[in-house]
Structure 1
Amino acid sequence: MESRLHKKAPKPRTRIQKKNTETILDAALEVFAQHGFRGATLDQIAKAAGLSKPNLLYYFPSKVAIHRALMDVLLKTWLDPLREMDANGDPVEEIVAYALRKLEMSREMPRESRLFANEIVQGAPNIYDKIEGELKDLVDEKARVISGWIAQSSIADIDPYHLIFSIWATTQHYADFDVQIRGILRPEEDTHFDTARVFLDQLYRRILTPLN
């Protein structure tokens, strides 16, 4: 029996393979964000990527495999701003900065936000293990940090979990309900994000500042 030590490592992907993989994932992001996981098809993704379906299946064996690859990348990107919350920083500034980073992601990455929202609305069939694992672990960790700040009277006494949930709701709304917001405000390009930034900065500072 061949020793594990002598098994050949998988060959590194070529430049063309990397490029095609990125092209497929970008095309899939557009299709999934528009149609959701259930409504999207491999034919739609292949067409958007400018590849034949057999060529697409060379890189990913199924629609599920494409979606999981996208969600793996997206979850890491989505969690990075929360990871940046520094337990040794100024509590109010750290939480407000997190909220504003999330708002900026809605501005810069609306398709990704809608993809994530679609997955959650459908019961998170492809990432529920990560919600119960990686996501829960990180939220628990940051909730403990926030609880510590509350215990030190550095911020107002507020439920740390619902604080985090409210930040998700008030920031991702600008991507997930983009059509509704634009229909009401009729902004010039993305100027409503600038006013939203001012509003959310004021909102969270007032919520977090301890009462004298």
Structure 2
Amino acid sequence: MAKRNTEVTEPARKPSRIQVENRKRILEAALELFSKHGFRGTTLDQIASACGMHKPNLIYYYESKEAIHVDLLNTLMTEWLSPLNALDPDGDPMEEMLRYIRRKMEMSRLYPRESRLFANEIVQGAPRMLPHLEATLKPLFDQQCGIVNTWMHAGKLATMHPAHLIFSIWAVTQHYADFDAQISVLLPGDDKRARGAEQFVEEMFRKLLSP
């Protein structure tokens, strides 16, 4: 008669409120440093100092600088892809595209550090994000390009290469985050600059997309 396994596996403990808050402090400090200095230019000592922790305490939560960076990038990818994921194949094509562009402009305005973090990773060849890009971004990108292509073939949007259209939207909208230091010198005045940029970009793509 086979012996029954009576061992009980204890459920994983949920992190305490303090643990959750400390992780948030670490990620916030790391985001600020990574967005300014890049992955290579940031150290664990700098992150520990910025979040008010001793280095051994920080390592209790994250064993390495890379682990912090990957956690930030994974969180960012979920947020960054949400506007593209929200394209509704049954919606009005022009309004769906303009809503996507507005959301991308809003994200560049509200999350410039996250945009620079992502851009720095891609410029370096995506050493920590490549599997995520292949497994998550590629299928979504192909699916949404198919939706845009269907709208174009139906005569509801001007005909062009859907992938290059999305690349262009990314390039234009994220420019306002990644090159904010340059823009703030050339066009001073935050509120006025933001409104002007959003109106210009929306009108430019409306003209481009009109059949």
Q: Return the TM-score normalized by structure 2.
A: 0.95
- The secondary structure found in structure 1 opposite 2:90 is coil
45-54 or 189-198, larger mean C-alpha shift = 189-198
| Shift of residue 2, structure 1, vs aligned partner | 9.7
Alignment of 1:96-115 (within 5 A): 96-115=98-117
| Shift of residue 190, structure 1, vs aligned partner | 3.4
- The secondary structure found in structure 2 opposite 1:158 is coil
- What amino acid is aligned across from residue 209 of structure 1 in structure 2? S
User: Does the C-alpha gap of structure 1 residues 2 and 90 become closer, same or farther in structure 2, counting only changes over 3 Å?
Assistant: farther
- What amino acid is aligned across from residue 127 of structure 2 in structure 1? P
- What amino acid is aligned across from residue 118 of structure 1 in structure 2? N
Q: 1:179 aligns with which of 133, 157, 181?
A: 181
Partner of 1:76: 78
| Shift of residue 162, structure 1, vs aligned partner | 0.5
- The secondary structure found in structure 1 opposite 2:38 is helix
User: Does the C-alpha gap of structure 1 residues 4 and 56 become closer, same or farther in structure 2, counting only changes over 3 Å?
Assistant: farther
Asked whether the 8 Å contact 2:184–2:190 carries over to 1, the reply is no
User: Does the C-alpha gap of structure 1 residues 192 and 4 become closer, same or farther in structure 2, counting only changes over 3 Å?
Assistant: farther
Q: Deviations over 1:168-188 (max 9, x none)?
A: 0000000000011111112x2
- The list of structure 1 runs, each at least 4 consecutive aligned residues, that deviate by more than 4 angstroms after superposition, is 1-5
- What amino acid is aligned across from residue 193 of structure 1 in structure 2? A
- 1:190 and 1:22 map into 2 onto residues whose CA distance is 29
| Shift of residue 7, structure 1, vs aligned partner | 1.6
Q: Deviations over 1:90-114 (max 9, x none)?
A: 0011011101100100100010001
- What amino acid is aligned across from residue 89 of structure 1 in structure 2? G
Identity %: 49
Cα RMSD over matched residues? 1.6
- 1:6 and 1:93 map into 2 onto residues whose CA distance is 55
- 1:9 and 1:147 map into 2 onto residues whose CA distance is 47
Alignment of 1:1-212 (within 5 A): 6-186=8-188, 188-210=189-211
| Shift of residue 10, structure 1, vs aligned partner | 1.3
| Shift of residue 4, structure 1, vs aligned partner | 11
- 1:135 and 1:9 map into 2 onto residues whose CA distance is 32
- 1:133 and 1:113 map into 2 onto residues whose CA distance is 20
Q: Deviations over 1:147-183 (max 9, x none)?
A: 1101111111011101110010000000000011111
- What amino acid is aligned across from residue 90 of structure 1 in structure 2? D
- 1:16 and 1:176 map into 2 onto residues whose CA distance is 33
User: Does the C-alpha gap of structure 1 residues 5 and 89 become closer, same or farther in structure 2, counting only changes over 3 Å?
Assistant: farther
- What amino acid is aligned across from residue 192 of structure 1 in structure 2? R
| Shift of residue 201, structure 1, vs aligned partner | 1.2
Asked whether the 8 Å contact 2:145–2:163 carries over to 1, the reply is yes
- The secondary structure found in structure 2 opposite 1:162 is helix
- 1:135 and 1:63 map into 2 onto residues whose CA distance is 24
The alignment covers a number of residue pairs equal to 209
